[in-house]
C-alpha cells in the first residue's frame, strides 16, 4: 500500500525557515515524481513544487520561487521542501503527492494519485 507521510511543519516567525519531509512506506520513491502542495483556509489546494524521479528536473511556482527549494534523497526514500524567508501568506497545510509521470502537470491536483495526510505550517509573529 502506497503511503506518504509529511513532517517538519510548525509555527515559525516571518522570515524564518522550515524543512518539510515527505517519507514513503510500502513502496520506494525513486520511480515517482513528487509534488508539494499547500492549502490555506478557504482557498484551493495550490501546487508549489515538483521533482522528477531521478531528481534531474524540478518545477517551482512563481509564488515561492527563490524562497523554496525541493530536493530528494532516494537512498533515504525521502523528499524535502526547504522553505526560507517565510511569509504569513505561506501559512497552510502542506501535502506531498506521488505520481509515476513527469512534473509537467505538477500544478494540477488531479494528476497525483497518492497523497500524504498533510502537515501544518503557520507563519506568524
**CA diameter of the chain:** 40
**Gap between the Cα atoms of 12 and 78, Å rounded:** 23
- For the chain, what is the mean pLDDT? 95
Mean pLDDT of the 54-81 span: 95
CA dist 102 and 87 (Å) reads: 29
Per residue in 114-124, pLDDT tens? 999 999 999 99
Check pLDDT > 90 for residue 26: no
> pLDDT grade, residue 25 (50/70/90)?
confident
Instruction: Determine the distance from the C-alpha atom of residue 95 to the mean position of all C-alpha atoms in its chain, rounded to a whole number.
Output: 6
Question: Strand 10-12 relative to strand 119-123: parallel, antiparallel, unpaired?
Answer: parallel
- Is pLDDT above 80 for 90? yes
In the prediction, which pLDDT does 112 show? Answer: 95
Q: Which stretches of 11-121 are DSSP H helices?
A: none
Amino acid at each position: 500500500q502506497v503511503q506518504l507521510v509529511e513532517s517538519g511543519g510548525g509555527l515559525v516567525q516571518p522570515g524564518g525557515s522550515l524543512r518539510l519531509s515527505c517519507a514513503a512506506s510500502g513502496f520506494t520513491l525513486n520511480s515517482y515524481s513528487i509534488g508539494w502542495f499547500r492549502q490555506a483556509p478557504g482557498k484551493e489546494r495550490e501546487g508549489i513544487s515538483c521533482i522528477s524521479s531521478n531528481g534531474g528536473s524540478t518545477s517551482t511556482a512563481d509564488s515561492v520561487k527563490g524562497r523554496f527549494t525541493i530536493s530528494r534523497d532516494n537512498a533515504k526514500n525521502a523528499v524535502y521542501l526547504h522553505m526560507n524567508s517565510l511569509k504569513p501568506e505561506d501559512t497552510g497545510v502542506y501535502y506531498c503527492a506521488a505520481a509515476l509521470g513527469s512534473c509537467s502537470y505538477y500544478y494540477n491536483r488531479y494528476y497525483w494519485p497518492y497523497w500524504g495526510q498533510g502537515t501544518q505550517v503557520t507563519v506568524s509573529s
